Amino acid sequence: MKVIRAKTAGFCWGVERAINVAREYAIKGKRPVFTDGPLIHNSQMMERLESEGIHEIGDYMSRSELNINVDEAEKKHAVVIVRAHGVSPERRSYLKSLGIEFHDATCPDVGTIAGRIKLQSRKGYTTVIFGDPNHPEVIGLMGYTDARGHVVKTRADIDALPPLGEKVCMVSQSTMFIFEFEQLAEYLKRSYPNALVFDTICGATRERQSEVRVLAQEGAEAIIVIGGRHSANTVKLAALVEKHNLPCYHVETAAELDFKHLRKYNVIGVTAGASTPGFLIDEACKRLAEA
C-alpha cells in the first residue's frame, strides 16, 4: 500500500526542547535528573528517558510534594525540570525551594499564554480559558489568573459561568481545535461584547490539524494517528480525522496496527501527535509500506 506521512508528524519544537534539556543534564548519568510529572505524554518515550537517567516524579494533579530519593551528596548535583506544559507560580516556587538546581523547560508558546493572562489579571480582568480543566497546561495557567479564572469546553460551560463583570478576556489551551475556539469566543461575546479574545493555539497544533486535511486531499483513504491515548493533541487529531469522514486508527505503536483491516486500503495517511517520538512513526510507516 502507499503510505503518505504528514510532514509535521511527531515532536513539536517545545517538546523536543524539553527533552534535549533533560538529556543534556543526564548525559552519561553524571547528574540525577527529575521531572515534575511525565516530561511528555508518551509512555514509550518516557521508558527510554528513564533508561537514560531521567526520572518522572511528582503529581501536578494533587500538588503533592516530590519524593526525591537521593543522598545529600547527590542532591548537590541533581536538577528538577519543569516540563513543556508549564506549572503554576505556586508550583514553581515550591520546586525552587527544594534546594536543588531548577530548570524551567516550559514551552515558550505556553509561557506566552501565561504572560498574557498575568498581564490582563493585573489590569483586573477575569480570564476564561478554553481547554481541559484536568490538563497540566490548564492547571498551570489557572495559577496566573489571580483566582479569577474559569475553564470552559462547551457553550453549556459558558452558560454556567457566574457574572464575570466588565473586564473579561479569553485564551485557549495551546492544543485545542481552532474552529471550536472561534465558535466559543463568538458565543462568549454575546454576553460580554467587550471581551478581549486572544487566539493562543500554537503553530504546531495548527500545522498538525491542517495536515489532516492535506492527507485527505492527497488521496488517503484512511488515516493512522500515532501517539499516547492520554495525549490531548493526539486524541484531538484522531477526532479531527473522523470529522473529515475518514476511517481513523489511533495506535500507540506499530504493534497495534490491524493489517487485517488496513490491507483493504490502497493509500494510508499517517500522522502523529506532538509528543510522539520519530522512532515510533518510522516503525509504523515501515510496516505499512511492507504490508
Mark whether 137 is an active-site residue: yes
In whole angstroms, what is the distance from residue 185 CA to residue 238 CA?
Answer: 24
Which three cell numbers, joined as nine digits, stand for 189? Answer: 461575546
The catalytically annotated residue of 137, 182, 218, 252 is 137
In whole angstroms, what is the distance from residue 141 CA to residue 158 CA?
Answer: 18
Yes or no: domain 2-10+203-290 corresponds to CATH 3.30.70.20 = no
Do 109-197 and 13-106 have the same topology in CATH?
no
pLDDT reported for residue 36:
87
Please report, for the chain, the start and end positions of each structural domain, with discontinuous segments joined by +.
2-10+203-290, 13-106, 109-197
Q: Is the pTM of this model over 0.95?
A: no
Architecture of domain 109-197: 3-Layer(aba) Sandwich (3.40)
pLDDT reported for residue 133:
95
Q: Which amino acid is at 275?
A: S
pLDDT reported for residue 60:
56
Fold of 13-106: Rossmann fold (3.40.50)
Q: Which amino acid is at 15?
A: V
**DSSP per-residue letters across 32-82:** -EEEES-SSS-HHHHHHHHHTTEEEE--TTTTPPP-----HHHHTT-EEEE
Query: pLDDT tens across 175-215, in order?
Result: 999 999 999 999 999 999 999 999 999 999 999 999 999 99
